[in-house]
């Protein structure tokens, strides 16, 4: 089979997995790196990686064990190997504190469950991101810990009680927000959730679903989405994803892979954004000990360097060149306050600063008035039928009605 027809293989390593304890100050980030090759990197280049490791008196490459100086001594060998193999990379950071804030916003402010939230404040991505940042100003560490305990609580009654406590704690700090619009929007939503916790789907009864909250599942989902984009761009399938073996989340990772790889390929247009649930159709997922996978070993070395990079630690020229290859031949997702803010400014600031035509402004103002009317009506209707907003028939909102 010619190189142009070879499918992609991905080899994944991770660091910073603290399980339930996302508040570990020593490991504030969860990091992932994946080497993506045309064809099976282990089969094609396993002997090359072993030869490089043997030069250092090792049987395998591990970034933490090698350290900067020994990686520097083999940097040219690694760069030559990456260039020859035409390797592509995925690198990812999930800032755990930012993850908690996004989980809190998604859990409490979903307009399909919280009748106190207007449709546009949750469903329009620029507004949702902005309000998520605003929410972060209200969160004290005790509140964050209480919320995390809430979404992992196996007993439904206790989860609802914790939700009420969280909402009350956030409302206590609502005056910290500098603008009246945010105080009103977040305050109304928090009061409604506090008073109607039974409408907020905060509790899940399966352990595998609760594990979906953890940083490694966020990073893994981002990887699968990225692989799907890579597959479409180069018109070649993803054959296999090989993940560093680890017992705690192995079943959950496999389940997520199965769900996304067998999902419908239909695209959904919603509030100015296009979503597709299917990713890496036809691929397989496996876990393997890093000593048995050359691809995982290279991902491990790159991940260790990436970690040093995010710690702002100086790296010698060879190591810097390796990272430059990675950033130039792949993609990075930075799911953090700083990363999301930078992406927000890049993607939305030109739109927000652009002049608005009078007719567009008028149409937008009318939509906002309608959303507020719907919010008040939904809250009143809940007192009658006790149904969450998503359980009632809603008028379809067309994309051409939404300001983009």
pLDDT tens sequence for the chain (404 residues): 456 679 999 999 999 988 788 999 999 999 999 999 999 999 999 999 999 999 999 999 999 999 999 999 999 999 999 999 999 999 999 999 999 999 999 999 999 999 999 999 999 999 999 999 999 999 999 999 999 999 999 999 999 999 999 999 999 999 999 999 999 999 999 999 999 999 999 987 665 556 668 898 889 999 999 999 999 999 999 999 999 997 678 888 999 999 999 998 887 777 767 777 899 999 999 999 999 999 999 999 999 999 999 999 999 999 999 999 999 999 999 999 999 999 999 999 998 899 999 999 999 999 999 999 999 999 999 999 999 999 987 644 444 445 44
Q: Which helix (H) or strand (E) holds 335?
A: strand 330-335
For domain 3-95+209-345, the question of CATH label 3.30.420 is answered with yes
**C-alpha to C-alpha distance for 257 and 180, rounded to whole angstroms:** 43
- Residue spans of the domains in the chain: they are 3-95+209-345, 111-199+355-401
Angle separating helix axes 156-172 and 96-108, nearest 10 degrees: 100
| Per-residue confidence (pLDDT) for residue 1, from 0 to 100 | 47
Q: pTM score, two decimals?
A: 0.91
| Per-residue confidence (pLDDT) for residue 399, from 0 to 100 | 46
Q: Rounded to the nearest 5°, which phi and psi values hold at 49? A: -65, -40
**C-alpha to C-alpha distance for 355 and 101, rounded to whole angstroms:** 32
Q: Between vectors from CA 66 to CA 37 and to CA 301, what angle results, nearest 5°?
A: 20
**C-alpha to C-alpha distance for 335 and 2, rounded to whole angstroms:** 37
**C-alpha to C-alpha distance for 253 and 68, rounded to whole angstroms:** 31
H helices of 211-336, in order, are 215-234, 250-261, 294-310, 317-328
**C-alpha to C-alpha distance for 51 and 28, rounded to whole angstroms:** 35
**C-alpha to C-alpha distance for 144 and 319, rounded to whole angstroms:** 37
Question: How many angstroms separate the Cα of 167 from the Cα of each of 21, 136, 143, 146?
Answer: 22, 13, 9, 10
Q: How far apart are the first and last CA of the chain?
A: 45
Q: Which two tokens stand for residue 303?
A: 């991940």
C-beta neighbour count of 387 within 10 angstroms: 13
């Amino acid at each position: 089979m010619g190189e142009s027809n070879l499918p992609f293989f991905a080899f994944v390593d991770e660091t910073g997995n603290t399980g339930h304890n996302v508040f570990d100050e020593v490991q504030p980030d969860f990091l992932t790196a994946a080497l993506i090759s045309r064809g099976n990197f282990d089969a094609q280049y396993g002997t090359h990686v072993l030869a490089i490791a043997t030069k250092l008196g090792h049987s395998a490459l591990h970034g933490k064990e090698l350290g900067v100086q020994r990686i520097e001594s083999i940097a040219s060998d690694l760069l030559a190997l990456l260039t020859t193999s035409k390797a592509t990379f995925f690198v990812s950071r999930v800032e755990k504190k930012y993850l908690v804030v996004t989980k809190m916003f998604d859990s409490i402010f979903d307009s399909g469950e919280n009748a106190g939230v207007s449709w546009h404040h949750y469903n329009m991505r620029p507004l949702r991101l902005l309000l998520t940042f605003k929410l972060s100003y209200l969160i004290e560490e005790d509140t964050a810990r209480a919320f995390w305990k809430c979404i992992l609580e196996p007993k439904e009654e206790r989860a609802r009680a914790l939700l009420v406590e969280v909402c009350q704690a956030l409302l206590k700090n609502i005056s910290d927000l500098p603008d009246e619009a945010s105080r009103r929007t977040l305050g109304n939503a928090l009061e409604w959730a506090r008073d109607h916790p039974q409408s907020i789907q905060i509790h899940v009864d399966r352990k595998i679903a609760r594990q979906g909250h953890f940083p490694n599942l966020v990073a893994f989902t981002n990887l699968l989405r990225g692989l799907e984009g890579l597959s479409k761009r180069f018109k070649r399938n993803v054959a296999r994803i090989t993940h560093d073996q680890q017992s705690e989340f192995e079943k959950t990772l496999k389940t997520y892979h199965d769900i996304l790889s067998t999902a419908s390929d239909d695209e959904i247009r919603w509030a100015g954004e296009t979503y597709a649930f299917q990713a890496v159709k036809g691929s397989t997922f496996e876990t393997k000990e890093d000593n048995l996978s050359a691809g995982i070993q290279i991902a491990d070395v790159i991940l260790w360097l990436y970690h040093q990079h995010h710690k702002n630690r100086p790296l010698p020229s060879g190591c810097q060149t390796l990272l430059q290859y990675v950033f130039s031949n792949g993609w990075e997702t930075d799911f953090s306050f700083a990363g999301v803010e930078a992406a927000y400014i890049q993607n939305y600031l030109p739109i927000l600063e652009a002049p608005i035509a009078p007719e567009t402004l008028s149409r937008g103002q009318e939509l906002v008035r309608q959303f507020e009317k719907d919010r008040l009506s939904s809250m009143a209707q809940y007192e009658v039928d006790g149904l969450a907003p998503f359980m009632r028939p809603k008028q379809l909102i067309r994309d051409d009605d939404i300001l983009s």
